[in-house]
Amino acid sequence: MRTSLTMLGVIFGVGAVIAMLSIGEGAKREALEQISILGINNIIINAKAPDQELSSDQGLARSQGLSLADGENIASFTELVDNVVPQRFEAAQKVYYGSEEAPVRVVSTYPIFVESSSIEVEYGRFITDSDIDCFAQVCVLGAKAKRALFAFENPLGKPVRIDDLNFTVVGVMADKYIARGKVEGFELKNFNEDVYIPFTTAVKKLNRHFAGQKSFGGGGFYVSISTSDDQKFNTPEIDQLTVTVTDLKHVATVTKLVARLLERRHAGVEDYEVVVPESLLRQSQKTQRIFNIVMGAIAGISLLVGGIGIMNIMLATVLERTREIGVRRAVGATQNDIMRQFLVEAVTICMIGCVIGLATGLILARTISYYADWPTVVSAYSIVLAVGVSTTVGIVFGLYPARKAARLDPIEALRHE
The residue among 89 and 270 whose pLDDT is bigger is 89
37 inside domain: no
By DSSP bridging, strand 194-198 and strand 105-109 are: parallel
| Average confidence (pLDDT) over 129-134 | 93
| Average confidence (pLDDT) over 373-379 | 78
Tell me how far apart the alpha carbons of residues 366 and 266 are, in angstroms, rounded to a whole number. Answer: 51
Q: Which of 276, 294, 312 is the last residue of a domain?
A: 276
Name the pTM for this structure: 0.66
By DSSP bridging, strand 100-103 and strand 105-109 are: unpaired
147/11 same-domain check: no
Question: Bridge partners of 95?
Answer: 102, 162
187/331 same-domain check: no
The residue among 375 and 76 whose pLDDT is bigger is 76
Mean pLDDT over the full length of the chain: 80
213 inside domain: yes
268/295 same-domain check: no
| Average confidence (pLDDT) over 87-114 | 88
The pLDDT of residue 58: 54
- In order of 31, 34, 84, 86, the CA distances from 117 in angstroms are 16, 12, 12, 13
Q: Which of 214, 241, 276 is the last residue of a domain?
A: 276
Tell me how far apart the alpha carbons of residues 284 and 30 are, in angstroms, rounded to a whole number. Answer: 10
244/298 same-domain check: no
54/186 same-domain check: yes
**Span 41-88, pLDDT tens digits:** 888 888 887 765 555 555 556 667 788 898 899 998 888 888 899 999
24/121 same-domain check: no
Tell me how far apart the alpha carbons of residues 355 and 83 are, in angstroms, rounded to a whole number. Answer: 53
Half-sphere exposure of 331 (CA within 13 A, CB side): 6
Domain with 252, as residue range(s), is 42-276
- In order of 234, 258, 259, the CA distances from 60 in angstroms are 7, 20, 18
The pLDDT of residue 225: 41
181/258 same-domain check: yes
Reported confidence tier of residue 129, pLDDT bands at 50, 70, 90: very high
Amino acid 102 reads A
Model confidence at 28: pLDDT above 70:
yes
**Span 259-291, pLDDT tens digits:** 899 888 887 788 788 888 877 777 767 777 777
Tell me how far apart the alpha carbons of residues 194 and 17 are, in angstroms, rounded to a whole number. Answer: 40
**Total tally of structural domains belonging to the chain:** 2
164/287 same-domain check: no
The pLDDT of residue 101: 87
310/253 same-domain check: no
CB distance 200 to 169 below 8 Å: no
Highest mean pLDDT among 54-63, 121-130, 336-345: 121-130
380/410 same-domain check: yes
Tell me how far apart the alpha carbons of residues 414 and 329 are, in angstroms, rounded to a whole number. Answer: 9
206/287 same-domain check: no
| Average confidence (pLDDT) over 161-165 | 88
CB distance 395 to 343 below 8 Å: yes
Q: Which of 259, 276, 293 is the last residue of a domain?
A: 276
- CB neighbour burial string for 72-83, b if at least 16 within 10 angstroms, e if fewer: ebbeebeebbbb
- In order of 171, 249, 411, 414, the CA distances from 246 in angstroms are 28, 9, 81, 80
36 inside domain: no
164 inside domain: yes
pLDDT > 70: what percent of the chain?
86
Model confidence at 229: pLDDT above 60:
no
Helix/strand/coil for 297? helix
266/320 same-domain check: no
CB distance 81 to 254 below 8 Å: yes
